[in-house]
């Protein structure tokens, strides 16, 4: 299963020029600053923006090949906009029924009860959208999109209109949805926290061009073209909670290649989690240092050392556990020279702080 895209089309302010093969499962984030072409690309996939020379093939089905283009209503997709666009005069249940009636193939449709349960909206069915919060309306919009039986779910900054409290309330539903359903999602966002928490694959765009694309962990670990999710470069690792230290409110998370102590987020042992490690929070040493306040110290191998944007700094990629995982460390060029850092060199990574995502 895959999604093949090729578009080259001039739009106001930039030319969209992409040639991509995206995975046919999980969440692919289109990430970049405002005006870089994220939403335009999404609209081209949906057939809402004309791109006469484009090509779009989803799981082997040709949606567009040059002049041949399926109209939007014939493409088996669900589209969730920034604003939910629910029918204000209908109840939540009637809004969902509208989506169910538009289902193209009963075999592709998510069961109504399943969508309601996944998004936690059963208690809202009799109500009308006007009396609901922004997060509740967006959950209903997603459920309605699922009931149409989509092969692909497109989301255009669905959390942009929510404040931080509503966003935090909404995110667990979105995580569960993307984890438990096999429908691939293409998710537009310029919010680093959303990408770090949800994405499995990332496409970074700038002025209509793809500057990086690939699995999230691999792209974030690049030092030749560091993609910053927010204020700093860093990596996101998938792990499992293997121990909880109730006395000190800490949890130990195992990931491919090692373990790290993090602040306890309340997850049970065995729970899959993501952790984010910023380059600025990783220091290097030639030997382990027992007399330190840092809880986390890992044996690593220097993989690559690259110049940073400031001439005083260097960015170092580190292989953990025979390359099973990667870390980034930012240090001064003076420190790199003092340690004589070279690719292949064994060192110790001392990790100042680790953020548990979610």
Look up residue 266 and give its two tokens.
């309340």
Tokens 């459920």 appear where? 143
Q: Specify whether the CB–CB gap between 326 and 217 falls below 8 A.
A: yes
* CA–CA dist 328, 235 (Å, integer): 7
Q: At 240, list the tokens.
A: 């499992």
Arithmetic mean of pLDDT, 115-142: 92
What is the model's pLDDT at position 226?
67
pLDDT at residue 105 above 70? Answer: no
The strand order across the sheet containing 346-351 reads 282-285, 346-351, 296-307, 313-320, 325-332
For residue 273, what is the enclosing H or E element?
Answer: strand 272-278
Q: What is the full DSSP assignment across 306-323?
A: EE-SSTTEEEEEEEETTT
Q: pLDDT tens across 180-238, in order? A: 888 999 999 988 889 999 999 999 999 999 999 999 999 999 888 767 776 688 999 99
Provide CATH code, domain 2-220: 3.40.50.300
Q: How far apart are CA 283 and CA 339, in angstroms?
A: 12
Average pLDDT in the chain:
90
| CATH code given to domain 234-357 | 2.40.50.100
Q: What is the pLDDT of residue 224?
A: 82
Domain ranges of the chain: 2-220, 234-357
| Cβ count within 10 A of residue 44 | 22
Distances (CA, A) of 70 to 39, 48, 151, 186: 19, 11, 15, 19
> Residue range 275-286: average pLDDT?
92
Consecutive H or E run containing 284: strand 282-285
Which residues touch 62 (CB under 8 Å, ≥6 apart)?
Answer: 56, 68
Residue 355's pLDDT band, with cuts at 50, 70 and 90, is: confident
At 106, the pLDDT band (50, 70, 90 cuts) reads: low
């Amino acid at each position: 299963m895959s999604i093949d895209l090729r578009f080259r089309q001039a739009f106001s302010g930039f030319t969209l020029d992409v040639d991509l093969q995206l995975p046919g499962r999980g969440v692919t984030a289109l990430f970049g600053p405002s005006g870089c072409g994220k939403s335009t690309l999404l609209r081209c996939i949906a057939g809402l923006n004309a791109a006469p020379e484009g090509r779009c093939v989803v799981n082997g089905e040709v949606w567009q090949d040059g002049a041949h283009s399926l109209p939007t209503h014939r493409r088996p997709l669900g589209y969730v906009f920034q604003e939910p666009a629910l029918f204000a005069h209908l109840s939540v249940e009637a809004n969902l029924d509208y989506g169910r009636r538009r289902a193209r193939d009963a075999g592709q449709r998510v069961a109504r009860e399943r969508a309601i349960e996944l998004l936690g909206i059963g208690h809202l069915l009799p109500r009308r959208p006007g009396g609901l919060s922004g997060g509740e309306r967006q959950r209903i919009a997603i459920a309605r999109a699922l009931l149409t039986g989509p092969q692909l779910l497109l989301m255009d900054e669905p959390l942009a209109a929510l404040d931080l409290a509503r966003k935090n309330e909404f995110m667990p539903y979105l995580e569960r949805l993307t984890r438990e359903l096999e429908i691939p999602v293409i998710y537009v966002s310029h919010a680093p926290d959303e990408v770090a928490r949800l994405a499995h694959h990332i496409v970074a765009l700038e002025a209509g061009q793809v500057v990086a694309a690939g699995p999230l962990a691999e792209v974030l670990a690049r030092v030749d073209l560091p993609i910053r999710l927010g204020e700093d470069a860093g990596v996101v690792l998938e792990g499992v909670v293997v121990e909880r230290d109730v006395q000190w409110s800490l949890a130990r998370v195992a990931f491919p290649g090692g373990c790290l102590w993090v602040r306890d987020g309340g997850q049970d042992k065995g729970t899959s989690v993501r952790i984010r490690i910023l380059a600025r929070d990783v220091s290097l040493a030639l030997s382990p240092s027992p007399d330190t306040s840092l809880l986390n110290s890992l044996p690593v191998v220097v993989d690559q050392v690259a110049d940073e944007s400031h001439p005083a700094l260097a960015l170092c990629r580190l292989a953990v556990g025979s390359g099973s995982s990667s870390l980034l460390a930012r240090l001064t060029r003076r420190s790199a020279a003092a340690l004589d850092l070279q690719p292949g060199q064994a060192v110790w990574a001392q990790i100042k702080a680790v953020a548990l995502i979610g």
